[in-house]
Every structure is written in C-alpha cells, then in structure tokens.
Amino acid sequence: MTHILDMFRASPFEPLYTHRLRVRECTDLVRPLFLAILDGHEDTQEDITKRIIAAERQADLLKVEVRRVMPKGIFLPVNREDLLRYLKIQDDLADAVQDIAVLASFKKLTPPAGLRDDILAYVDTVLNVCQLADESTNHLKPLVEKGFKGDNVQKVLELVEKAELAETAADHEGLMIARKLFSMEEQMKATDLLLWSKILDKVGRLADYAEKTGEWLRNMLQS
C-alpha cells in the first residue's frame, strides 16, 4: 500500500473512502447472512461468513496503514484527531459485522417462533442507518474539491440528521424485538436465547456506529 501517502497528499479522504468500500462489503453481506441463518442454509451461511471475515481483515489492514502513513505534521483541511476518530468508528462497523457472523457460527440457530419477519425488518432498519452514513461519505470527494463549501455541505448535514433519526427508530425497534425475544425464554433453549440476544445487540451496534460516523463527519465540517 505504498501509494496511500500519495493519496493523502492529494486528498486525506481518498484512503478514508477506500476503507469505507471495504466496510461496505461487510455491511452489504448482513442481510444475506441473516437470510441464510433464518432459512437454515448452513453452507451459504458459512460462505458468507468467510467473505465477511476476509473483507473485515482488508479493512483492518487498511486502517492500520492509513494511521501509519499519516504523520502529525501533514497538512489536513480538518482536525487530524477527528479524522482518525472517524476512521476508527467506521472500522467498528466492519468489526461488528464480523462479530455477528462469528456468533451465529457457534451453533445451528433456529429462528425464534414468529420472529423471523421481525428480525429481518429490524436488520433492514439498521441497514438503512448504515446506508445514510454511506451516502454521507460519498460526498467527501466533492467536499474536498470545493474546499468544504457549497451545496454538498448542506447535503451531508441533512444526511447526518436523517441518520440520527433513523438510529433512534432502530433503537426503538431493537427494544421491542428484545422484549419479544425474552418473552419466549421458556420456549427456547438457553443457549439459543443467549446467542440471539447477543447477535441482535450487535445488530443494534451497527446503527450506533453508523450514526456516530455522521456525528464525527459533522464535527469535521463544522470545526
């Protein structure tokens, strides 16, 4: 990755965006992963898990390299620490997806009775937050080109606000599905209940991390 320093000289957001692409590979596999889990397609689940782990590894290596090649003395149009914090939270998204995949691989899981559609709906709600955060990142290149001025600034701020509202909706939906899950504790194996609880908690963290990337992006724009 010797070209990354040149990318920073051209734009500090180029490597950040490249890292985002690797993270997106992970989040794009979340819904297919859950479909495989809920439908009992173990071979498909295993294949998707391997793809998630590979994409997360690439994201992690890129994160480390970006940190290494960005010396403190380099000129940046935004606060360096804000940029690094943004990178860390963005990377947390990939980590959370990998955690979900690994947790789901511990044992063959059966969907809680009557919750299949609720789980998929919750996953979709969370992925909507991730999509809004991703759209915000897509505006970084034109923002840099225009010196953080113009219509793109307002577009990004609007997307960040939408992501915050979507994350609140995801929190509410996550609470409702957790209540439904634990109302079935007498009907489920303790190990299944524990794993589903941990998995759904990690799904909620995806929305949290996505929303936080928006917060730090807004910090960079307004600092």
What residue ranges do the domains of the chain occupy?
Answer: 4-222
Band (pLDDT 50/70/90 cuts) for residue 26 is very high
Using left for φ > 0, alpha for ψ between -120 and 50, and beta otherwise, residue 28 falls in: alpha
pLDDT for 172-223, tens place per residue? 999 999 999 999 988 899 999 999 999 999 999 999 999 998 888 887 777 6
- Mean of pLDDT over the chain: 86
Reply yes or no on domain 4-222 having CATH 1.20.58.220.
yes
Burial class (CB in 10 A: 0-12, 13-18, 19+), 179: exposed
For position 55, what pLDDT does the model report? 95
Q: Where are the beta strands (DSSP E) in 6-145?
A: none
Q: Which of 58-72, 96-110, 159-173, 206-220 has the lowest mean pLDDT?
A: 58-72
Q: Does residue 46 carry a pLDDT above 70? A: yes
Q: Give the pair of three-digit tokens for residue 135.
A: 């759209």
Q: How far is CA 20 from CA 17, 66, 118, 168, 215, in A?
A: 5, 12, 28, 23, 16
Q: What is the mean pLDDT of residues 87-110?
A: 94
pTM over 0.85: yes
Q: Does residue 53 carry a pLDDT above 90? A: yes
Q: Is the dihedral of CA 213, 137, 141, 26 positive or negative?
A: positive
Q: Give the pair of three-digit tokens for residue 223.
A: 């600092």
Q: Does residue 7 carry a pLDDT above 50? A: no
pLDDT for 116-162, tens place per residue? 999 999 999 999 999 998 888 777 766 666 666 667 788 888 888 99
